[in-house]
Chains A and B, each alone.
Chain A
């Protein structure tokens, strides 16, 4: 088979190509290098503030919520669905914890349980509508997000509620391990679970096939609707968990600031998909991406740049991340 011979020769020509190996490595670890570079730059400008342990501890601890929201997004994204309602679920869940615990005097455990349950129900509603009516997830979750935001404003009377049981605050942010608040480790555990499921289980492979080729997945015997259902419920559940962490981080809940997590989370999810496992949404890449973005913003605010830079930074990051992943794909196609 002469054509096959040529392909082999092709591969032999590409195989030991050192340049290619370095391009691959660059793609894989580029984001980590960029993160270290950002740290080095700000560290060189303001070493006394930026390079302090307190600063890093704050970055790691306070952004655990964003990490969990990002992780919640990559599950349906891998299965080919968007979940735009996850920020509203976060808000609803944190608000429920506050209202039930502070206003109605529920024990904190019960309040958390109720909040998580409601979050899961929102996920079930999302999935049921998407799958039953065959509507694009973007539309359904956009509507559901706004709807849940309305519900939250209604049952909270649009008030910020503080004074949440200190047990939660202690468990989330006040207790530190190796100087970093526990919230960081919770987010890390979620990331490790997702990393394992995505990379090492049949469930992860099925999720991937459902996202990349729904008809191929169905004809391969994968129960496509069940997988999509599971992914949407999981993302809502993690959105609820993020809400609980948010309540614990601030000791309070307000009915709108949760919404500001949505865009940064998407930016981090897409940016994360360009590294570690380039071309796939992946947990470790997402975590690195979150901290890369947050480090940049923290550094800029230490330099005294106004807060509007946050929007500039996240908005640009989302577009750059998607453009980068497009470039990666283009290069792969040119290899043929």
Chain B
């Protein structure tokens, strides 16, 4: 695996292994990150990515035999928690570690206040320094603004700049290695580009980056080289510029997956099942959509176009200002709808933010999955744990939830399996309209395929599906029709063979600023 660049690697690991009880999480992994390199780390859930990162963070001790060099100097393993700072390494995790109610500047300085006791903080001078720091990377954040008023991408930018700032202020080292652990899954495509601009700016200032992600397109966009882990081993190390996406997918999954074949065959949808008329919300402005029986309709657009708001308004997850939804002869006034009334009408929502909206991690799979059908066991007045486990066990079998243990805590499942539980939870109620919000966010590629199949199966049984997503590949794979929104209005509609990833992306960007009213 040695290449000439490895000799002057910022970080070099050899023979890294880690066993947990009987299972091997990492098995003889070598990794080298060059100076000013953006190095991608890819792999399915359970491939060993997070174990590797936790070893760098000093959270796990590796098995004996592993060796680590930072800037050519050998460093003794295991690292102690917090050692990474001294070594010039900083981590930005998916949950960015910002305090929303505090100001940008306070958040920027948190790390410093944690270690250095100073009697007087020169706020004005720090604010100037922060402004200059942001300006260097083309950002215009107000140091006094509360973090909760920032957009998602601004928060991610702040967290990354903060990490960079912390390591550049380390007196003991010249090393600048940023580990970005899945920083993008909650960001729409346009914002990801902003983040990448920042990453390139940091590299220009001498930083190296280890970029961990599920998203192959993003990794191909930003990295110089890619290391793919599979079953705890390095499946391949690839030079990004010379690699095709299919090669990466094969390295991740261990077999080839034909992305184009995931595209649904054209189907003949049934009659109208659901119609939404005159929908208005915070962004969405007079949108009308009709979905036929067995049809999967995608909703997309740029950030702020309101495409993701539609599914929330139709379920009353956020209350609509106006609009009517007609489903099997019943008309619901969306301005008065509540989620329980939506469920009663046969509507279900699979939220995009799984952790806060869809699952309770501290409760079991059985608890989570049985919630909507509790009333079915003798009116809800004689429920047994065994009964709930039986229902959840059968669902786990049908939806291939692993492990098949309904008494597991939800938090112990991978993202993909959690999402399968959420789908199982709702699909067992035989809904008439399924509302999806980024259904495969934070889900590995194997589970993604399964989730597509599950959604397709539901629509084959006649269920209408509305799927909001900024993942154009996903929309191209599952949708019969894709509706593009801009500034709260429908601006384009693609159907059948006209649907493809580039076509959707083109419509999203081309249509910006050009609003032509609604299409049904």
**What residues of chain A have their CB less than 8 Å away from a CB belonging to chain B?**
1-4, 6-14, 199-206, 208-209, 212-213, 215-216, 218-223, 279, 329, 332-333, 335-336
Known contacts A205-B383, A209-B371, A223-B340, A2 near B357 by CB under 8 Å = no
Docked-complex contact B381 and A2, CB < 8 angstroms: no
Instruction: State whether B46 touches A6 (Cβ < 8 A).
Output: yes
- Chain A residues with CB under 8 Å of B349's CB are 219
A221 lies within 8 A of B357 (CB):
no
Encoded as 1 (CB less than 8 Å from any A CB) or 0, chain B from 13 to 45 comes to 000000011110000000000000000000011
Chain A's closest residue to B379 (CB) is A202
| B interface bracket (residues with beta carbon within 8 Å of A) | 35 or more
Task: Known contacts A215-B357, A219-B358, A335-B412; decide if A201 and B380 are in contact (CB<8 Å).
Answer: yes
Chain B residue contacts of A203, Cβ below 8 A? 380
B411 touches A9 (CB 8 A): no
Contact of B381 among A9, A202, A332 (CB under 8 A): A202
A200-B381, A205-B370 known; 8 new pairs, CB 8 Å cut-off, are A13-B22, A202-B380, A205-B371, A205-B383, A212-B360, A212-B363, A221-B342, A221-B372
Query: How far apart sit A47 and B405, CA to CA, in the bound complex (Å)?
Result: 49
Check: B138 CB closer than 8 A to any chain A CB: no
B366-400 near A? 1/0 per residue, CB < 8 Å: 01001110110100111111000000000000000
Contacts of A12 in B (CB 8 A): 22
B44 lies within 8 A of A3 (CB): yes
State whether the Cβ of B265 lies closer than 8 Å to any Cβ in chain A.
no
Question: Smallest distance from the beta carbon of A3 to chain B beta carbons, Å?
Answer: 3
Q: List 24 A-B contacts (CB under 8 A).
A: A1-B446, A2-B46, A2-B230, A2-B254, A3-B46, A3-B47, A3-B444, A6-B23, A8-B403, A10-B21, A10-B403, A13-B22, A14-B21, A202-B380, A202-B383, A204-B383, A205-B367, A205-B383, A212-B362, A216-B356, A218-B339, A220-B339, A220-B343, A221-B340
CB distance from B250 to the nearest CB of A (A): 14
Q: Are A213 and B339 in contact (CB under 8 A)?
A: no
User: Contact: B374 with A202, CB < 8 Å?
Assistant: yes
Chain B residues near A220 (CB-CB < 8 A): 339, 343, 371-372
CA distance A217 to B243 in the complex (A): 45
Which of A6, A11, A213 interacts with B405 by CB under 8 Å?
A11
Name the 9 nearest CB pairs between A and B, nearest first: A202-B380, A3-B46, A202-B374, A13-B22, A221-B340, A213-B360, A4-B402, A221-B343, A212-B360
The answer to whether B412 and A336 touch across the interface, beta carbons within 8 angstroms, is yes
B429 nearest in chain A by CB position = A221
B488 within 8 A of A: no
Report the separation of the CA atoms of residues A11 and B45 in the bound assembly, to the nearest whole angstrom: 16
Per the bound structure, the CA–CA distance linking A213 and B360 in Å amounts to: 6
Instruction: Please name all residues of chain B whose beta carbon is closer than 8 Å to the beta carbon of A219 when the two chains form the complex.
Output: 315, 317, 339, 349, 351, 357-358
> Can you name the residue of chain B whose Cβ is closest to the Cβ of A4?
B402
On whether A10 and B367 interact (CB within 8 A), knowing A200-B384, A216-B358, A332-B409, the answer reads: no
Report if A200-B383 is in contact (Cβ < 8 Å); known contacts: A6-B23, A11-B403, A209-B371.
yes
Enumerate chain A residues within 8 angstroms of B478, measured Cβ to Cβ.
none
Q: Which residues on the A side are within 8 Å of B372 (C-beta)?
A: 220-221
Which of B47, B351, B357, B374 touches A205 (beta carbons < 8 Å)?
B374
A57→B359 CA distance, assembly (Å): 46
Bound CA–CA A335/B367 (angstroms): 19
Residues of B within 8 A of A218 (CB): 339
Max count, chain B CB within 10 A of own CB: residue among A199, A206, A336: A336
Q: Which residues of A contact B412 (CB under 8 A)?
A: 335-336
Give the nearest-CB partner of B404 in chain A: A8
Q: Please determine whether A13 and B371 come into contact, CB atoms closer than 8 angstroms.
A: no
B231 within 8 A of A: yes
Q: Is the CB of B402 within 8 A of A7?
A: yes
The CA of A336 and the CA of B372, in the complex, are separated in Å by: 27
**Residues of A contacting B315 with CB < 8 Å?**
219
Q: Are B47 and A199 in contact (CB under 8 A)?
A: no
Instruction: Give every chain A residue within 8 A of B358 (Cβ-Cβ).
Output: 216, 219
Q: Are A336 and B340 in contact (CB under 8 A)?
A: no
Nearest-neighbour CB distance to chain A for B364, whole angstroms, equals 11
B500 interface contact, C-beta 8 A = no
Is the CB–CB distance between A209 and B343 below 8 Å?
A: no
B414 within 8 A of A: yes
Chain A residue at smallest Cβ distance from B25: A6
**Which chain B positions have C-beta within 8 A of A6?**
23, 46, 231
Give complex CA distance A9, B381 in Å: 38
A residues in contact with B339, CB < 8 Å:
218-221
Known pairs A3-B45, A3-B46, A216-B357; A222 contacts B340 (CB<8 A): yes
A148 to B158 Cα, complex, angstroms: 49
> B363's contact among A4, A199, A202, A209, by CB below 8 Å, is which?
A209
Q: How far is the CB of B377 from chain A (nearest CB, A)?
A: 8
CA distance A178 to B23 in the complex (A): 56
Beta-carbon nearest neighbor of B380 in chain A: A202
Q: A213 to B351, alpha carbons, bound, how many Å?
A: 14
Nearest A residue to B358 via CB reads A216
A8 to chain B, nearest CB (A): 6
Contact A199-B385, Cβ < 8 Å, known A11-B403, A222-B340, A336-B411: yes
Give chain B residues whose Cβ lies under 8 Å from the Cβ of A336.
411-412
Distance of A179 Cα from B23 Cα, bound (Å): 57
Report whether A3 and B414 are in contact in the complex, using a CB–CB cutoff of 8 Å: yes
User: Is B21 touching A208 in the complex (CB atoms < 8 A)?
Assistant: no
Contact of B375 among A199, A202, A208 (CB under 8 A): A202
Our pick among A1, A199, A279 for the contact of B362 (Cβ within 8 Å) is: A279
Output the nearest chain A residue to B381 by Cβ-Cβ distance.
A201
Contacts of B23 in A (CB 8 A): 6, 9-10, 13
The answer to whether A2 and B231 touch across the interface, beta carbons within 8 angstroms, is yes
Q: Which residues of A contact B411 (CB under 8 A)?
A: 333, 336
Contacts of B46 in A (CB 8 A): 2-4, 6-7
Q: Which residues of B contact A212 (CB under 8 A)?
A: 360, 362-363
Q: How far is the CA of A1 from the CA of B430 in the complex (A)?
A: 28
Report Cα–Cα, A2/B23, bound state, in Å.
12
Complex Cα–Cα for A64 and B357 (A): 40
Q: Whole-angstrom distance between the alpha carbons of A274 and B425 in the complex?
A: 29
* Chain B residues whose CB sits within 8 angstroms of the CB of A201 once the complex forms: 380-383
Select which of B375, B403, B409 is within 8 A of A7 by beta carbon: B403
Residue of A nearest to B385 (CB): A199
Min CB gap B440→A, angstroms: 16
Q: Of all chain A residues, which has the CB nearest B444?
A: A3
| Chain A positions within 8 Å of B20 at CB level | 10
Complex CA distance for A200 and B382, rounded to whole angstroms: 5
With the chains together, A82 CA to B405 CA distance in Å? 33
